[in-house]
Homo-oligomer: A and B are copies of this chain.
Amino acid sequence: MDAEIIAVGSELLLGQIANTNAQFLSQELAGLGVNVYYHTVVGDNRERLSDAIAHAQERADLIIFSGGLGPTKDDLTKETIAKSLGRELVYDEKAMEAIEDYFRKTKRVMTENNKKQALVIEGSSVLANDHGMAPGMALEAEGKKYMLFPGPPRELKPMFLNYGTTYLQKGFHTREHIVSRVLRFFGIGESQLETKILDLIDAQTNPTIAPLAGFGEVTLRLTSKSSTSEEAYRLIDSLETTILSRVGDYFYGYGDTTLENEVFKRLLDSGRTIACAESLTGGWFSKTLTDLSGSSGVFNGGIVCYTNEVKENVLKVPDTVLEKDGAVSEACAKALAENVRELLGADIGISFTGVAGPDKSEDKEVGTVYIGIAEDGAPVRVHSLLLAGGRGRIRSQTMKHGFFQLLKAGGR
């Protein structure tokens, strides 16, 4: 099955936003074993959209559209597709009810043009929109499949994951169940991880293994097909066990999770609190943890000790440590972790000190990093790293290593 993704919206052609919908859909379709051969972006223009549809019909079996399902005159995706297929638009009752319900709940007045959003292409399966008003659609015509999704990513993504994939799997693999699972790794490079499982990658048929690297992390997407979903899951479970027996030390979670999410869950489960002392990360660890709603239950606070004076006066790092070992040292990381834990009254203290660059500091190389973790009843552990890359990468990797070490400390 060959697919083309057509994004409709002048805001894309003006460069106001990037086409992240095509990226998301491509990733998901790859996981389902669908080949994506083209992305097209076209503006809110009937003639050029018709042209794009005609080209796609020549070269794809599955055409997925994003955008142009809203209430205004600009939004003309479904009208144009319907016309190209010689079909009518009809009101979908459920969609209409959902729209009326939305306006009732938000106590806003529904203008007439909002009804337009409940119009769907005749003969299509409606994909419910759980995060907005415009429903999606899926249909088949002349041997080709068409799927229509709203433009906002927060509406498109759950619609595709919850309803789109089911439709696709039902349709073109009538006797096949496709199961996909993403394993997330940190602290190992893509090529290093690949080397350790190269025989598995070379021999892959079912399940398939798709590695992907980004933002200092590596993921493996395992995808299996079988006539029953039980068997498909069994195949994935078995492959996962083999993979983790080799690189389990770097594994930290499944699917869309993040390092901070896993740490947050672990802290919540154990009822423990954390505090941090940040030098080179400058508040990034705190910021990332407090991005999570509910983090006040596990996070007491932090000290960004960017200067030696703050390390000494506020965090009571002994001046002998700063003079002899320096601020970028195991001894300093140790003192920072212990003292921030005590000062902020937390169960765990974590500290970050190092050289983010661009210049050396205290004659220590750019990328030299120490992370201290102090826990009640255990000696302080200090992890030393030598990170490559520019200032931004060194800081973000340091922050992520902190979360990763907290997970390891929990004894996975």
Residues of B within 8 A of A52 (CB): 38
Bits for A4-16, please: 1 = Cβ < 8 Å to B, else 0. 0000000011111
Residues of B within 8 A of A276 (CB): 304
Among A36, A43, A212, chain B packs the most CB atoms within 10 A around the CB of A36
Closest to A306 in B: B301
Bits for A338-375, please: 1 = Cβ < 8 Å to B, else 0. 00000111000000000001100000000000000000
In the complex with contacts A15-B27, A41-B39, A303-B306 CB distance below 8 A? no
Contact A310 B344 (CB under 8 A): yes
The verdict on A377 contacting chain B, using a C-beta distance below 8 Å, is no
Count copies of this chain in the complex.
Answer: 2
The verdict on A388 contacting chain B, using a C-beta distance below 8 Å, is no
Residues of B within 8 A of A90 (CB): none
The verdict on A285 contacting chain B, using a C-beta distance below 8 Å, is yes
Residues of B within 8 A of A302 (CB): 283, 303-304, 306
Contact A284 B287 (CB under 8 A): yes
Contact A304 B304 (CB under 8 A): yes
| Stretch binding the partner chain, chosen from A174-182, A239-247, A292-300, A400-408 | A292-300
Closest to A309 in B: B345
Residues of B within 8 A of A287 (CB): 281-284, 286-287
Contact B290 A283 (CB under 8 A): yes
Residues of B within 8 A of A26 (CB): 12-15
Kindly list the 3 A-B residue pairs having the minimum CB-CB distance in the complex, ordered from nearest.
A282-B290, A283-B286, A283-B283
